[in-house]
Structure 1
């Protein structure tokens, strides 16, 4: 389904176009058309950073100069905007995937988003948010413990699994170890009380 904001932006761009100004080069626009079509198709799937979109278009063997022109056109009409992309990426990935701000920063960097846009987007995650997200990830992992460990090696094995779940999402080691111990101890008490 088409995004109403994208449609409105395209309509505004069409209305701003003034025919007969002599600035329109039909053959050049025809050269850009397949690049634009592919770019819009990719943007229709999901939002993308400028650099990510550029990489996909170059990989599709479009001429880099044409790709850059199309990307400039799309940026000018507001269809690509790294700041908005980064903000939305952080919001969704932190909420749905339980990612740490460090992991999100690396993902955005890999997508070619600049330092300032990454930093601004990551400001929406507070230390409390980060802690809550880490705790939710740890609790989900600790739910796999069905019986209280009978020896230290078994406890350590469970602890490594919970810490590993946190580490894979980019949480720092100190926070991961502290939260993992708290959550694992809570889970063990819970299974002891129900058993």
Structure 2
């Protein structure tokens, strides 16, 4: 919030205004401290005013990056099907410190990730036919692996899940993914 000063220039808003701006943003969804700092900077608040407002909100427990990271990881993994790699990138973009990100990501086990990837592949297989023609079959498999890769699943996991889900669905997997 910029206010005109006597010289016609602008100055940032008050700490109370910065706090109110943060509270309005927090009513939409939880946010990281970094996201709120960026929003305040965009609104024209001076750094020291924004820092004091953010510190106050941290002190009263309205900003908690560790809790935010845990909630974000749970939500995005459960509802959007994101893998650990994608979630790590999202947390980094949101300004979450490495130790908070690692703690939040540790709540997703390898089994959880594999299970969620399998659910995504099964869902996609309902609408995707896997032809018996090897060339066309390979295209369908690349689609499935690509879908998992875009959601942040590692290549080895993606190939393994696609192969096992195709086998369960009765698809031909001979000659695929030879090790």
Structure 2 portions without partners, runs of 5+: 1-12, 172-179
Structure 1 CA distance for aligned equivalents of residues 127 and 166 of structure 2: 10
Which residue matches 2:53?
Answer: 70
- Greater helix share, structure number: 1
- Tell me if the contact between 1:51 and 1:113 (Cα under 8 Å) persists in the aligned partners: yes
Confirm whether residue 55 of structure 1 aligns to residue 68 of structure 2: no
Confirm whether residue 177 of structure 1 aligns to residue 159 of structure 2: yes
Report runs of 4+ in structure 1 exceeding 6 Å deviation.
Answer: none
Which residue matches 1:97?
Answer: 80
**What is the CA deviation profile of residues 22-74 of structure 1, one whole-angstrom value per residue up to 9, with x for unaligned ones?**
xxxxxxxx821221111100011000010111011111111111111100000
Taking only aligned residues, the RMSD between alpha carbons, in angstroms, comes to 1.4
When the two structures are superposed, what TM-score results if normalisation uses the length of structure 2?
A: 0.84
- Tell me if the contact between 1:49 and 1:81 (Cα under 8 Å) persists in the aligned partners: yes
Instruction: Find the partner of 2:67 among 65, 77, 84.
Output: 84
Which residue matches 1:18?
Answer: none
**What is the CA deviation profile of residues 80-130 of structure 1, one whole-angstrom value per residue up to 9, with x for unaligned ones?**
010010011111111111111111111111100001101111111111101
2:168 aligned counterpart, secondary structure: helix
Q: How does 1:113-128 map to 2 (within 5 A)?
A: 113-128=96-111
When the two structures are superposed, what TM-score results if normalisation uses the length of structure 1?
A: 0.77
Which residue matches 1:135?
Answer: 118
Instruction: Find the partner of 2:150 among 168, 179, 183.
Output: 168
Aligned length in residues: 159
Which range moves more in the overlay, 133-142 or 47-56? 133-142
Structure 1 CA distance for aligned equivalents of residues 55 and 106 of structure 2: 27
